[in-house]
Amino acid sequence: MNKLLTIAFVLLIFNCKSPEARRPISTKSGSFIDASIEINKKRYAKEKAIIEKIMEADSSNYIPSQSGFWYTYHTKIENDSLVTPQFGDIVNFDYDVKSLNGVEIYSNEELKTQNYAMDKQELFTGLRHGLKLMKAGETVTFIFPSDRAYGYYGDENKIGPNTPLICKVTVNSITQN
């Protein structure tokens, strides 16, 4: 019996080995991803050229953001004691949405006054980052390329896929959390 246990133990030790990774049956190249990157680069270059023409025609001083969009102040608060919203703060704001050719997509009345918990609720990327630049009482016009707006899918309502947007935003109040 002792010999049988010893043999079983030895077999168990020699049969244990680390699991091997399974290899895919077929491998795919990155050609789809490479093609997608090229398409997106061309789309962005085309949108940027249109946006730059719009900014040149406008007498406002547009500022490029680090988040990939442009903005200009209509009302700027110079008071440094006022804060910009941080994570979890409640931002009360009004905004409208237009296409690059100035056609209104959503009006202030349609969108109504919004209460947004900063970075805790859904909001398209550009507007979320834009609100972080604003103080209570400021009004700013943002120009968002499509990748900073609703991107590839649009809003599945009035905004189509790959649509750059212009939004005029007024922050009414910021309630710190």
Domain residue extents for the chain: 63-177
The answer to whether the CB of 74 falls within 8 A of the CB of 140 is: yes
The answer to whether the CB of 55 falls within 8 A of the CB of 144 is: no
Q: What is the pTM of this model?
A: 0.80
What DSSP string describes 81-103?
A: TS----TT-EEEEEEEEEETTS-
Q: What is the pLDDT of residue 148?
A: 96
Q: What is the pLDDT of residue 22?
A: 74
Q: What is the pLDDT of residue 59?
A: 85
Mean pLDDT by runs of 10 across the 177 residues of the chain is: 68 63 68 87 94 92 95 92 91 97 95 95 95 96 96 92 97 94
Q: What is the pLDDT of residue 28?
A: 63
- One of 3.40.190.10, 2.60.40.10, 3.40.50.1820, 3.10.50.40 is the CATH number of 63-177, namely 3.10.50.40
Q: What is the pLDDT of residue 21?
A: 72
**Residue partners of 7: CB distance under 8 A and separation at least 6:** none
Strands 63-64 and 70-75: antiparallel
User: How buried is residue 68: exposed, middle or buried, by Cβ count under 10 Å (0-12/13-18/19+)?
Assistant: middle
Q: What is the pLDDT of residue 6?
A: 75
Q: What is the pLDDT of residue 18?
A: 64
Q: What is the pLDDT of residue 118?
A: 95
